Structure 1
Amino acid sequence: MFNRKQFCLWVLLAISSFSASADEGMWLPMLLKQLNEADMQKKGMRLSAEDIYSINKSSLKDAIVQFGGGCTGEIISNQGLLLTNHHCGYGQIQSHSSVEDDLLTNGFWAMERSQEKPNPGLTATFIVRMEDVTKQILGDIPANLPEAERESRVQANIKKVQAQATAGTHYGAIIRPFFYGNEYYMYVTETFRDIRLVGAPPESIGKFGGDTDIWMWPRHTGDFSLFRIYAGPDNRPADYSPNNKPFTPKHHLPISLAGIQQGDFTMVFGFPGRTTEYLPSQAVREIAEISDPAKVKIRTVKLGILDQDMKADPKVRIQYAAKYASVSNAHKKWIGEMRGLRKLDAITKKQEQERQFAQWVAQETGRKNTYGQVLSQFEQNYSQLANGITLARDYFMEAVMGVELLSYAQNYMALADLLQKGTETEENKAAIQAQVKRLSASAPGFFKNYNLPTDRKVFAALMEMYQQGVDPKFHPAAFGRITKDKNFNWTAYANEVYATSNLVSEEKVQALLKLAPAAMKVKLLTDPAVTLMQSFGNSFRQQVLPVYTSLNDQNTLLNRTYLQGLREMQKDRKFYPDANSTLRVAYGQVDSYKPADGVTYDYYTTLEGIIEKEDPAIVDYKVPAKLKELYQKKDYGPYGVNGQMPVAFIASNHTTGGNSGSPVINARGELIGTNFDRNWEGTMSDIMYDPDRVRNISMDARYFLFIVDKFAGAGHLVKEMTLVNNGPQGAAPAAQNGKAEMKIKKDKKKTKVKVKAD
């Protein structure tokens, strides 16, 4: 007989299965002391929470930056040298490349400061401090206020708190909602604007394995690039100037030569972009069975076209290198996510949690009043989204906005509206002139990386996919006019559009923008790309976006209530907030894993694997002659170990997009690697973490040093860094007073570099 005591025990065990796993979580640095320090030290960490995050002294946080708004970087010298991923710096490397001077293919190394390349618009942002501002944001807002009014008051409070926090300083402030708006935290920031490219390996190293190996393990990629932060004479942020000086940081990370072993403690410090760990089962089903499959299907077609044209023309390869990488990255991730969710049986697990939640709610009247309608409302809302709305939204974002001509035409909509109003008023005339100036100035940048024949093929293919994949009731009105001929085909129509549009070349655009307003109006409002984009936009804004936005706003509010209930139900569980591009700490251990029955992957790779993968016929597997020479001679300097050159390793840290470039730090606070990817089997960790399958992939810091020093001959950069060799993490440090020094032979010339030991 299954008695009440046994039942309660079963429920407790079942609920605990949803608690954060041993290495799961993206934790707030300011809360490490109360939530994580003891567990981290139990796992081997020798630091305190104060060593990681402090506002009273320099700490690890002072060496971490948000790089370019979408990646992470770490400071590795007292002269502002910044390490991040090759793929994070890819756009900057590409912007400095041409057919004549192809930095993507050949790599780049500044042998002196004057050769370091400026990057307008690139930023590096430090976190000065964090603060829980929940009371300031929510304290004066009644509990039952309508959501629109609540959000308005939240935003007003956010602006007020931001202004108070930054008054009289050069700092910025970011306030973000956590736990779907149950809590709010403020990050006070310092953003540097003069960031220069210092070094990057050739693609054959920095992107070895390319799109074939992305999201895969084993991995052999030297995914790094080097930049330098420059500051004004007061060491504060400044716009680019040749008179700026290298930034002096509060802290920079020492780099460990001791390497890694199975089971070693690891910590990833960075800016993870977005996770949704607390979604209901209906949302997981929507992702796994509707949204991801549609997006993968569209991107598969687009990538095939780009790949074909890039292989046929070196100029197109350079123009579309960064674009292809961006499209491919998410494409393969979504494939892995779908597989991972199925293998983990994520929907069933979420449904079981909801069943337990419903039982808990039913036990008390107060709970019924607060949480009783949450699950049924989720079911209703996601049923409406599944009725074509989600697909129509995804096809608009991927197929319509995935055509460069149409997304570029979107930029002209404001000008078109102004031209329709005319030039009778001085205000409108000035607005037209401002739009013309903006569009004229931005045109060279767009067309530098644009190839008309390639985009024309993408247009024909994706428009046909949209027509077939989206319910006709959501089609734009223009489709009826365009496709009414029984002999219609999208290739012929694409030829017509690209032959007659004024937006397909810089010359045509500049000629259009030089016309008088009346003539410009006629040309612009009859342009086939503009009229088609207007029709798409009208249909999307009228039929899709309002419903999609309304239902998702409702779901956000429901998630806030649902998560509040889960936290009340599981009082002993340590909840971590979803990633939202704010500074977080994840920790775990170096660990192998089993991706499939009968298969076990080791926790590290070496240069030998690169040589084994070499295939000159496949661009992803070309190996530079100099790298092969170093391998054959086993000329690894102080960076190799036992005749091998380590390249990459895996660990169980919980990471996501935005963690690219994040430092992987050992138990003593030393840099041992740079995070650049996850394993394919673990990409579902944005939605549900599995400790048996989820692994983050990192470049070994020793491989980075080897490439800079031995391959590139840029040993002057290594001399800036603080290299340490304190032995395995389980052993006592070689020196603990911060004064001991050792010397490492750099190469056959016996050049010596002093290396401080912590």
Structure 2
Amino acid sequence: MKKMTALAMAMIFAFSGLSKADEGMWILPLIKKLNIEKMQSMGLQLSAEDIYSVNHSSLKDAVVIFGGGCTGELISDKGLILTNHHCGYGTIQALSTMENNYLEDGFWAPTTDDEIPAPGLSVTFMKRMEDVTSKIEAGLTADMTEEERRSAIDSISTQIADSVKGDSHYRVLVRDFYGGNQYFMMVYEVFNDVRFVGAPPSSIGKFGHDTDNWMWPRHTGDFSLFRVYADKDGKPAEYSPDNVPLKPAHHLPISLKGYEKGDFAMTLGYPGSTQRYLTSWGIDERMNIFNFSLIKPRGVKQEIWEKAMNSSDKIRLQYASKYSRSSNYWKNSIGMNRGLKNLNVIEKKQKLEEKFSDWVNESPERQEKYGDVLPSLKAAYENRAPYYLAQNFVRECMLRGTEIIGFSLAARELEQALESEDEEKIKQATENLKKNAEDFYKDYHAPTDQKVMSALLELYHEEIDAEFYPSFFEEIKTDKEDGFEEYADKLFRKSIFVSKEELYDFLENPKLKKLKKDPAYSAGKSTMELYLKLMSQIRESNLTIDKNHRLFIAGLQEMNPDKVYYDDANFTMRLSYGEVGDYEPRDAVIYKHYTTLKGVMEKEKPDDYEFSVPEKLKQLYRDKDYGRYANKDGRMYVNFTTDNDITGGNSGSPVINGEGYLFGLAFDGNWEAMSGDIAFEPELQKCINVDIRYVLFIIDKYAGAQNLIDEMTIVE
């Protein structure tokens, strides 16, 4: 066993059961020391080795990173992957056409030969984690600047990763934890041959759409199925018809037992990001700069998108995935600000900071080590505020908001090639731009984007100081009432990036002068120049915040030696544990911990696509034809709540019972606790899950995909 760091040892011996069982996203190698006894007292029947083992099959071998931002799990010994419908949404949309609209109609592959390759989609297995803090710290000195420290850490991390990877096919990364007070190395195995197996129609998989998003009660069958393929030796390989379904080291048995209030529930997954150690100034910035920069521009953009989507089935299909991605964290940001305000989180942080200052001032040693931490953080947040606001608005209004501006920047490689006059480079850059164009124009509607451009540029002009305008604003008659509409109209009339046809005509014989004069490309370059300038202007503040954030966390742990601290999420595999349960969102209101198919029927609005219900599902409900998937009370359960600690990235995480069996699929959090990424609220925070019995009911009774049921390990 390798020597553990002082920090890890302190955490281990500090464990006293003071932390609530349902709070925390825990690092797997430390579970045996930190969590296992508490988990077993709550109903877990497994050992720590059953959950995380390097040498033997364990639960972690059945859990994957799905794509680039979700979780999935293996549910058969033939590589079958279960994840959320909203996690597969972008892939399903990309594979759909007007003739075969898998989003609207659903899809079920009757055989493996009918499964559809999903180019660009990957799944990633974590093979092991190892604490490498001592190796990192050995190369650091106290007199290093923060920039020197960061450079040294990057260099040492690369050396560690390279030495472990060798000539293997594994991906090896070193990540910081606890704000840079601890470091772990992760070894991953990435599979790029992933195929679409099945999904219900959006009327089931996305029932309630954006209206119900983040809300409870929910009635959503949020799941989809994919399969991972490998070469004949079980190794990762690019797509080939000769590849075979992967036989995983472990897959999850599925329980039909159901659950009762108070039952143990565990999730394994890849939570993306939390910031629970932010100071009051950091929370103020999150609310009034970062979240504000999401809420305002995305609200404007989505209103325009929604009108266009409602006017055309084709536009609805083109923008379905984009709208879903945009609205998800738009609504999250609204809810987060509401929750942080209602829960007085800034005031609570200020009290903690007062306590920290008092503790620091109790000794000269602490003053020397931590005395500048809070004043430095306060000053750094204040210094970067105007630049950070502008940077976020540039991203949301232009780089991500106005599609043609963002896409035009894909021509930078071509500009450089044309300047070099190297025919081979020009040919390669042209081909690369065409590849990008194929994906872009498939889901692009220029008249809609023109309206978005006009509205978002005007919003930027209203919200951001003139010193932060991109240079192309000089071409806009901002004093005219219709100045932004006029500018957008002119750009869309003259740019080669407005349509695939015009771009391809240009690429037949590309000219440097024409490219540089193109209004969309010129606006894109102007925007990127401003964005990079803003990044450089906040660099010093960022370094100051990183340094003092690290010291603040170290100081908190020193100040509270009897408290167990878990790390913020950073898209590495984590475990959370809790129990099935209800909650009281407000006075005199109690929400049950489950919903049933009856609620789907009660919500139905035949003329509203968000709440339409397929006729076959209604017939199954009328006939009470639930098969073996009904609850013991005869009803069909749909969703349920637990108090597991999750965040974005956990979407698709398995919800596992005390026996190690799958009984749910995590897909959302609740509106009342949207502040959870910043401050966990034990009385309100809920993880919303699809009942696995509803998943199987849809696959079996609704879709008739018995072939998929047959390959699962189902425990009655």
Fold shared by both chains (TM-score > 0.5): yes
Does 2:557 align with 1:563? no
Q: Do the aligned residues in 1 keep the contact of 2:164 with 2:172 (CA within 8 Å)?
A: yes
In structure 2, the partner of 1:408 is 407
In the TM superposition, residue 171 of structure 1 has moved relative to its aligned partner by: 1.5
Does 2:639 align with 1:648? yes
Larger radius of gyration: 1
In structure 1, the partner of 2:688 is 697
In structure 2, the partner of 1:478 is 472
Q: Deviations over 1:354-389 (max 9, x none)?
A: 111101101111110010011111111111233x22
TM-score, with length taken from structure 2: 0.96
In structure 2, the partner of 1:729 is none
Q: Do the aligned residues in 1 keep the contact of 2:139 with 2:156 (CA within 8 Å)?
A: no
Which residue type is aligned with residue 558 of structure 2?
A: E
In the TM superposition, residue 268 of structure 1 has moved relative to its aligned partner by: 0.7
Does 2:462 align with 1:468? yes
SS of structure 1 residue aligned to 2:189: strand
Output the CA distance in 1 between the equivalents of 2:681 and 2:242: 51
Does 2:574 align with 1:584? yes
In structure 2, the partner of 1:173 is 172
Output the CA distance in 1 between the equivalents of 2:239 and 2:468: 48
Q: Deviations over 1:100-125 (max 9, x none)?
A: 11111110000011100001121111
Q: How does 1:227-246 map to 2 (within 5 A)?
A: 227-246=226-245
Q: Do the aligned residues in 1 keep the contact of 2:410 with 2:436 (CA within 8 Å)?
A: no
In the TM superposition, residue 548 of structure 1 has moved relative to its aligned partner by: 2.3
Output the CA distance in 1 between the equivalents of 2:364 and 2:417: 57
Q: Do the aligned residues in 1 keep the contact of 2:258 with 2:663 (CA within 8 Å)?
A: yes
In structure 2, the partner of 1:277 is 276
SS of structure 1 residue aligned to 2:330: helix
Q: Do the aligned residues in 1 keep the contact of 2:210 with 2:327 (CA within 8 Å)?
A: yes
Output the CA distance in 2 between the equivalents of 1:105 and 1:27: 38
In structure 2, the partner of 1:389 is 387
Output the CA distance in 2 between the equivalents of 1:164 and 1:222: 45
Output the CA distance in 1 between the equivalents of 2:441 and 2:417: 24
Q: How does 1:668-683 map to 2 (within 5 A)?
A: 668-683=659-674
In the TM superposition, residue 716 of structure 1 has moved relative to its aligned partner by: 1.4
Once the two structures are overlaid, the 10-residue window that deviates more, 214-223 or 179-188, is 179-188
Does 2:282 align with 1:292? no
In the TM superposition, residue 648 of structure 1 has moved relative to its aligned partner by: 0.4
In the TM superposition, residue 158 of structure 1 has moved relative to its aligned partner by: 1.1
Output the CA distance in 1 between the equivalents of 2:290 and 2:157: 33
Q: How does 1:253-264 map to 2 (within 5 A)?
A: 253-264=252-263
Q: Deviations over 1:50-108 (max 9, x none)?
A: 11001121110010000112100000011111000001111111112111111111100
Output the CA distance in 1 between the equivalents of 2:432 and 2:618: 49
In the TM superposition, residue 510 of structure 1 has moved relative to its aligned partner by: 1.4
In the TM superposition, residue 418 of structure 1 has moved relative to its aligned partner by: 4.6
Matching residue within 625, 630, 651 for 1:635: 625
Q: Deviations over 1:287-343 (max 9, x none)?
A: 123331232111111111111111110000111010000001001101110111111
Does 2:531 align with 1:532? no
Does 2:495 align with 1:504? no
In structure 2, the partner of 1:753 is none
Output the CA distance in 2 between the equivalents of 1:104 and 1:198: 13
Does 2:488 align with 1:494? yes
In the TM superposition, residue 514 of structure 1 has moved relative to its aligned partner by: 2.1
Output the CA distance in 2 between the equivalents of 1:628 and 1:489: 52
Which residue type is aligned with residue 113 of structure 1?
A: T
Q: Against the structure 1 CA distance between its residues 676 and 486, is the aligned structure 2 distance closer, same or farther, given a 3 Å change threshold?
A: closer
Q: How does 1:370-449 map to 2 (within 5 A)?
A: 370-386=369-385, 388-401=386-399, 402-419=401-418, 421-423=419-421, 426=422, 429-449=423-443
Q: Do the aligned residues in 2 keep the contact of 1:180 with 1:560 (CA within 8 Å)?
A: yes
Output the CA distance in 2 between the equivalents of 1:672 and 1:309: 39
Does 2:700 align with 1:709? yes
Give the paired residue count: 700
In structure 1, the partner of 2:138 is 139
In the TM superposition, residue 552 of structure 1 has moved relative to its aligned partner by: 1.8
Alignment RMSD, CA only? 1.6
Which residue type is aligned with residue 701 of structure 1?
A: I
Q: Do the aligned residues in 2 keep the contact of 1:630 with 1:636 (CA within 8 Å)?
A: yes
SS of structure 2 residue aligned to 1:87: helix
In structure 2, the partner of 1:734 is none
SS of structure 2 residue aligned to 1:130: strand
In the TM superposition, residue 180 of structure 1 has moved relative to its aligned partner by: 1.6
Does 2:74 align with 1:75? yes
In structure 2, the partner of 1:100 is 99
SS of structure 1 residue aligned to 2:87: coil
Q: Deviations over 1:574-629 (max 9, x none)?
A: 11111111000011111111111221111000000000000012111000000000
In the TM superposition, residue 468 of structure 1 has moved relative to its aligned partner by: 0.5
Output the CA distance in 1 between the equivalents of 2:18 and 2:686: 19
Q: Deviations over 1:533-577 (max 9, x none)?
A: 2222223333x2222232122101110111111111111111111
In structure 2, the partner of 1:739 is none
Does 2:679 align with 1:688? yes
Q: Against the structure 1 CA distance between its residues 143 and 718, is the aligned structure 2 distance closer, same or farther, given a 3 Å change threshold?
A: same
In the TM superposition, residue 713 of structure 1 has moved relative to its aligned partner by: 0.2
In structure 1, the partner of 2:10 is none
Output the CA distance in 2 between the equivalents of 1:198 and 1:422: 46
Q: Do the aligned residues in 2 keep the contact of 1:283 with 1:382 (CA within 8 Å)?
A: yes
In structure 1, the partner of 2:611 is 621
In structure 2, the partner of 1:318 is 317
Q: Deviations over 1:480-509 (max 9, x none)?
A: 332266465212221111111011111111
In structure 1, the partner of 2:3 is none
In the TM superposition, residue 417 of structure 1 has moved relative to its aligned partner by: 4.4
Q: Against the structure 1 CA distance between its residues 540 and 243, is the aligned structure 2 distance closer, same or farther, given a 3 Å change threshold?
A: closer
Q: Do the aligned residues in 2 keep the contact of 1:121 with 1:193 (CA within 8 Å)?
A: yes
Q: Do the aligned residues in 2 keep the contact of 1:474 with 1:540 (CA within 8 Å)?
A: no
Q: Against the structure 1 CA distance between its residues 96 and 486, is the aligned structure 2 distance closer, same or farther, given a 3 Å change threshold?
A: closer
Q: How does 1:544-563 map to 2 (within 5 A)?
A: 544-563=534-553
In structure 1, the partner of 2:307 is 308
In structure 1, the partner of 2:11 is none
Q: Do the aligned residues in 1 keep the contact of 2:21 with 2:577 (CA within 8 Å)?
A: no
Q: Do the aligned residues in 2 keep the contact of 1:22 with 1:691 (CA within 8 Å)?
A: no
Which residue type is aligned with residue 387 of structure 2?
A: I
In the TM superposition, residue 168 of structure 1 has moved relative to its aligned partner by: 3.7
Q: Percent identity?
A: 45
Q: Deviations over 1:4-62 (max 9, x none)?
A: xxxxxxxxxxxx9x974331100001100001011111111111111100112111001
In structure 1, the partner of 2:359 is 360
In structure 2, the partner of 1:604 is 594
In the TM superposition, residue 432 of structure 1 has moved relative to its aligned partner by: 3.5
Gaps of 5+ in 1: 1-15, 726-758
Output the CA distance in 2 between the equivalents of 1:434 and 1:20: 57
Does 2:191 align with 1:201? no
